[in-house]
Amino acid sequence: MPTAFAAALLLTWQALVVIFGYPKVILPAPSDIFVALRDNSAMIWQQTVPTVRDTLAGFALAALFGVGLASLLSFSRLLRDAIYPLIVVIQLVPKIAWTPLFIVWVGIGWPSRLTIAAFIGFFPIFIAMMAGLESTDRSLVRLCRGLIATPWRTFWLVRLPASTPYLFAGLKIAITLAVIGVIVAEFISSSEGLGFLILQSAALLRTDIILAAITVLCLVGLVCYGAVHAGELAVRKWHGE
């Protein structure tokens, strides 16, 4: 159904552009976008590499810090009560407002893009991991305590597996937000990446290249999301689900 709907939408788009004769600079037809993809494939691929690289690196950092901090707070109610509200307050500030500060702090280039992607992707992973750890069956935790299991062993064998569905839900959200974070950073200060290509093409009124770059961005997002989903299926299979 999604494929059929997308095909119908593209055919309608093509027909409307041809019938009403919209200028390519305003609304190029899907065929024009395909031509732009074909003729500029080398340039688009060159700009895709840094975007994908920074997205994956930022996502990995977000996952590392999100899972790590949530796991640490799960061992101490005092730490959780002290730190958790502060993280929520920081999250309430629009992410775009932090971008100029990150550029000042870490400089122009890939460090700022990496930092922004990690910052944006951190919160959903952290919240999902916290929710997963807190949703662990209390009877299983009490059983582990009755068997004199250490807190670390209880965490590794009971609480962490129970939080897996929540964690992957957060990871799926975070990977899409990481793409957005990198593109926002490339809009503001960058000389490479698909975001830079979109701005450059807008200055040249090359709407077909803009939409071609957006198409590639959609494909990148789908592949990244699919990779996280495949990881979830692998973990479920490993757990015997």
User: What is the CB neighbour count within 10 angstroms for residue 28?
Assistant: 23
pLDDT greater at residue 5 or residue 142? 5
> Residues 143-196: pLDDT tens digits?
766 776 677 777 777 777 888 888 999 999 999 999 988 888 888 877 788 988
* Rounded CA separation 181/115 (Å): 9
Task: Tell me 21's DSSP state.
Answer: T
Confidence (pLDDT) at 62: 93
Three-state secondary structure string covering 103-146: HHHHCCCHHHHHHHHHHHHHHHHHHHHHHHHHCCCHHHHHHHHH
Q: What mean pLDDT comes out for the span 230-240? A: 83
Of 236, 170, 183, 234, which Cα lies nearest the Cα of 213?
183
Q: What mean pLDDT comes out for the span 117-133? A: 89
Residue 132 half-sphere exposure toward CB, CA atoms < 13 A: 25
Q: What mean pLDDT comes out for the span 13-22? A: 85
Residues 27/90, Cβ–Cβ less than 8 Å: no
Indicate if the pLDDT at residue 241 is higher than 70.
Answer: no
> Looking at 136-140, 190-194, 222-226, which range is the least confident one?
136-140
Confidence (pLDDT) at 2: 80
CATH of domain 57-238: 1.10.3720.10
Contact residues for 206 (Cβ-Cβ < 8 A; gap 6+): 36
Going by pLDDT thresholds of 50, 70 and 90, the confidence category of residue 141 is low
Would you kindly state where each structural domain of the chain is located, as residue ranges? 57-238
Gyration radius of the chain's alpha carbons: 22
Q: What is the identity of the amino acid at 94?
A: P
> Residues 34-93: pLDDT tens digits?
998 998 889 999 999 999 999 999 999 999 999 999 888 888 788 888 888 888 888 887
